[in-house]
Amino acid sequence: MPSESKEKLNPFHIAQQQLDEAAEVLKLDAGMHELLRWPIRELTVTLPVKMDDGTTKVFRGFRVQYNDARGPTKGGLRFHPDETIDTVRALAAWMTWKCAVVDIPLGGSKGGIICNPKEMSQGELERLSRAYIRQVGRIIGLEMDVPAPDVYTNPQIMAWMADEFAFLKGYNEFGVITGKPIPMGGSAGRGDATARGGIFTLREAGKVLGIDLKGATTAIQGYGNAGSFGHALGDELLGLKIVAVSDSRGGIYTEDGLDCEKVVAHKKKTGSVIGFPGAKDITNEELLELDVTVLMPAALENVITAENAENIKAKISVELANGPTTPEADQILHKNGVYVIPDFLCNAGGVTVSYFEMVQNAYDYYWPLDLVHERLDAKMTAAFHTVHDAAQKHKAHNRLAAYLVAVERVAEVVRLRGWA
């Protein structure tokens, strides 16, 4: 087995490596391949923010627009202490393939600010959010590039950003950002859309694999937007039995199954899922290797690597997180028969409902929740089967199949536009 130290863990190198594999199968010509390996546009910004103690702290931020052949670019914004330009580039590339795989008329982008939001007050976060928009405002907009929430950003942050953008423009353009609170132009159903879309793909995977998911044991890594709604909806829509969940401080396990509302209330009260009454505390590493039917990585990148992939016992990996599995780990999971629902297919529900939000903002006409759910289900189900069929046809693992579908869709428009 390759040693961990030799495995490349730079997310952008991984994204390029994944594309290279697809380019070879699709026989993309050299110019097209090179164009799709790099972001079209990047902006790095320096953000001075007045802190509550009167000092000025200077933050670094990024916005990367990867490819806009199919439409305006779209991608979330992260606040994270370990953010790097290469992580943002990787996530922007994955957004491009994600919008293409669910066939929505958008390109891909991503943003990030290097900061630790857990150590900042609400006032400091607001000033940081507004400072970011003052800098990136010149390259975003409903017809250019549309941010959304991601790790450690939320609807309140989106609201401050939409408000700052309205000041820059002189009028409200709510469609500049998605994941807004509903009274400010948000869409019904955006809150849990990422997890709901992932659960729809898991439902379809259960059908094609002939696995009965009712009562299927499940472990979830990460307990934020994606993971906690993954718990609630996995339970509500499929009757999964969630036996383990975790967050950045550690995990909990009980073979009897965890009640979502009680775990959410415990995390709200104590700041973490750990110490939940009646459950055993476990590490994040232990959670990944549990003997369960379904594993949902819903935290950060590179958690399933060459080092632990052999120990993954789950039958299906539902990748709500972006980039949780390295290319070497992918090969190992495929060899061991683990059915991976790859990230940019599995978690595309978020951007799909964000796209619905943009459409509603453009028309100032809002859809009822059941219509959002119905249209999301149709998009996710169609995308799942397109990828599953491509995997069968090319005898490829699901991630490569998803790349084949998405890259060909982007390449087709690049050719039509005469770029390559």
Catalytic residue set: 110
CB of 185 to ligand NAD, least distance (A): 17
Helix (H) or strand (E) holding 149: strand 145-149
Say whether residue 226 binds ligand NAD (CB under 6 A).
yes
Say whether residue 242 binds ligand NAD (CB under 6 A).
no
**Interface pick for ligand NAD out of 194, 293, 386, 398 (rule CB under 6 A):** 194
Least Cα distance to 119 among 47, 61, 48, 53 occurs for 53
Alpha helices in 299-397 (DSSP H): 327-335, 343-346, 349-363, 369-394
Angle between helices 85-101 and 369-394 (to 10 degrees): 90
Hunting for tokens 């990944």 — which residue is that? Answer: 288
Closer to ligand NAD by CB, 39 or 227: give it: 227
Q: Can you state the percent helix, strand and coil of the chain, rounding each to 5? A: 50, 20, 30
How many residues make contact with ligand NAD (CB under 6 A)? 24
Nearest residue to the partner ligand NAD, using Cβ? 224
Q: Which residues pair with 242 in a beta bridge?
A: 218
Say whether residue 150 binds ligand NAD (CB under 6 A).
yes
CB of 134 to ligand NAD, least distance (A): 24
Say whether residue 298 binds ligand NAD (CB under 6 A).
yes
Cβ–Cβ contacts within 10 Å for residue 90, how many?
25
- First-last CA distance in the chain: 39
Closer to ligand NAD by CB, 320 or 414: give it: 320
Q: Which amino acid is at 289?
A: E
Say whether residue 254 binds ligand NAD (CB under 6 A).
no
Structure tokens at 198: 């992932």
- Which of these ranges, 8-16, 45-53, 220-228, 406-414, lies near ligand NAD under the rule CB under 6 A? 220-228
Q: Which amino acid is at 63?
A: R
CB of 367 to ligand NAD, least distance (A): 18
Say whether residue 129 binds ligand NAD (CB under 6 A).
no
Say whether residue 347 binds ligand NAD (CB under 6 A).
yes
Near ligand NAD in 41-100, by CB under 6 A: none
Say whether residue 305 binds ligand NAD (CB under 6 A).
no
Structure tokens at 255: 């073979």
Q: Measure the CA–CA gap between 58 and 363, rounded to whole angstroms.
A: 39
CB of 137 to ligand NAD, least distance (A): 22
**Interface pick for ligand NAD out of 224, 234, 327, 342 (rule CB under 6 A):** 224
**Interface pick for ligand NAD out of 178, 322, 325, 352 (rule CB under 6 A):** 322
- Which of these ranges, 39-47, 199-207, 316-324, 390-398, lies near ligand NAD under the rule CB under 6 A? 316-324
CB of 7 to ligand NAD, least distance (A): 18
CB of 148 to ligand NAD, least distance (A): 7
Q: Could you tell me if 77 and 147 are in contact, meaning their C-beta atoms sit under 8 angstroms apart?
A: yes
CB within 8 A of 335, min separation 6: which ones?
A: none
- Which of these ranges, 48-56, 58-66, 146-154, 167-175, lies near ligand NAD under the rule CB under 6 A? 146-154
Q: Measure the CA–CA gap between 28 and 83, rounded to whole angstroms.
A: 32
Cβ–Cβ contacts within 10 Å for residue 155, how many?
17
Q: Which residues pair with 209 in a beta bridge?
A: none
Closer to ligand NAD by CB, 68 or 83: give it: 83
Closer to ligand NAD by CB, 23 or 195: give it: 195
Closer to ligand NAD by CB, 129 or 322: give it: 322
CB of 175 to ligand NAD, least distance (A): 17
Say whether residue 225 binds ligand NAD (CB under 6 A).
yes
- 326-329 long-range contacts, Cβ below 8 Å, gap at least 24? 326/7, 326/8, 326/9, 326/14, 326/302, 327/14, 327/17, 327/18, 327/21, 328/2, 328/7, 329/304, 329/305
Hunting for tokens 């979330």 — which residue is that? Answer: 76
**Interface pick for ligand NAD out of 122, 248, 270, 283 (rule CB under 6 A):** 248
Binding site for ligand NAD (CB under 6 A): 149-152, 194, 221-227, 246-248, 284, 298-300, 320-322, 347, 350
